[in-house]
Structure 1
Amino acid sequence: MQTESEVRSLAPATQGIGHTVRLTGWIAFWVQLGLAVVSGIALLVAATGRGFADQANPGLGVGIFWAVCAVLVLLFGVYWDYRYTRIGKSLENLNPALHPSKADTTKAIRLAIIVSLVGILLAILGAGATVAVLVAKSISQPPGVAITDPNKIIRALDVFVMLGNITAITGNFLGTITSIWLLEQVHKH
């Protein structure tokens, strides 16, 4: 059992890393939540707008699918950021019995890194499918001639799918960077 003086000597270091984890968790939470909302709205506009178009573009459906998967992973990352705030709060507690172990904290951060990397991969797949459709549409348009086939026109809804994918990549990337930084901070203490 630790003496009171040993607990006091450990408290500032543990409270310092606890504050860092909690503050970083809140910052990442709000930034990633904002990016998830922007991506979700862009995909919602793209998906609902496709229903109003005369000719649906089946190639963009794949891009929307992967983007939605990436946004769901991003929302899990938002939840994990909130979990960081709880881990930080428990580390700030003066009672060392309530502190999560360094191994548990490291394990949680590593899981967040893996999840964010999966989110990046999913969003890249969606962005790749969307770019392929946009490139195919752009090169199928003859230069200087009026376009008679409406399927060959790049519509704003097509670009919204790309916006959703890029925003999901950004959000998951920020989650990865945040978790890597936190992992480094935890290993220092």
Structure 2
Amino acid sequence: MPDQPDFPLLSLGMRRIGWIRFWIQTILGVVVIGVLLFNNVGSSLARNSERALGLGPGLSLTTFAFFLLLYSLWQGWLIVRAGRAINSPARPSRGETSRLLKRGLIVDLLGLVFSSVGYQSLAGALFVQASMQAPGISLGVGKFDMNNYPITSLEMLSVLSNTQVLFAHLIGLIFSLWLLQRIYRLK
């Protein structure tokens, strides 16, 4: 008699990994939305907000990667539900479960692409801004002094939000690949 797949062990593993993925991505998503909201509110209150126009494309791509992260969170919840269903008599097929995991992989890969391009955009804008700084301390004469544009903490927060969303998609990708490998390893 051939060995039966160990469905209770697979179910436990999918539920645990699904919950770990879900909560890590949720925490990172809360950090991202907090930083993006703080960045939008803070940049509108900043005196020289017109000089940070180069950050717009990077922040837009970061926001789009965040929306993909929300979809990835929903996929993580579906992985937990599939893990519960595997241990029941009406278990999903290997094909259904692998399609669910592959959808999560594609979303996380798209999120990685958009957040990576956004990161490059943010880093490029901050590099240009840093290269325009005058050496030493500038004691300007008001708004007519265009020599020194220091990089502010709000601009660094935009890079931080992008890094957080990139890491959240990387976590989702790693966990989805590991679960997909476990499903295909079953006999």
Same fold judged by TM-score > 0.5? yes
- In the superposition, the TM-score normalised over structure 2's length comes to 0.90
Equivalence for 1:44: 37
Alpha-carbon spacing, 1:76–1:14, altered in 2? closer, same or farther (3 Å) = same
Q: 2: CA distance between counterparts of 1:175 and 1:75?
A: 12
2:95 to 103, 109, 114: 103
1:30 aligns with 2:23: yes
Q: Which amino acid aligns with 1:143?
A: P
Shift of the alpha carbon at 1:151? 7.2
Equivalence for 1:180: 177
**Larger helix proportion, structure 1 or 2?**
1
2:85 to 90, 93, 100: 90
- Identity, % of aligned pairs? 26
Q: Which moved more, 1:75-84 or 1:145-154?
A: 145-154
Provide the aligned length of Structure 1 versus Structure 2. Answer: 179
Q: 1: CA distance between counterparts of 2:147 and 2:177?
A: 46
Shift of the alpha carbon at 1:54? 2.3
- Give every structure 1 segment of 4 or more consecutive aligned residues whose post-TM-superposition deviation is greater than 6 Å: none
Gapped runs of 5+ residues in structure 2? none
Alpha-carbon spacing, 1:42–1:151, altered in 2? closer, same or farther (3 Å) = farther
Please provide the CA RMSD for this pair.
Answer: 1.8
Q: How does 1:66-85 map to 2 (within 5 A)?
A: 66-85=61-80
Shift of the alpha carbon at 1:149? 3.0
**Kept after mapping to 2: 8 A contact 1:55/1:151:** no
**Kept after mapping to 1: 8 A contact 2:15/2:80:** yes
- Deviation track 1:114-172 (CA, whole Å, cap 9, x = no partner) reads 10010011111111111111101111112124164387221111011100000000000
Shift of the alpha carbon at 1:66? 0.7
Alpha-carbon spacing, 1:63–1:23, altered in 2? closer, same or farther (3 Å) = same
**Kept after mapping to 2: 8 A contact 1:60/1:130:** yes
1:142 to 130, 134, 147: 134
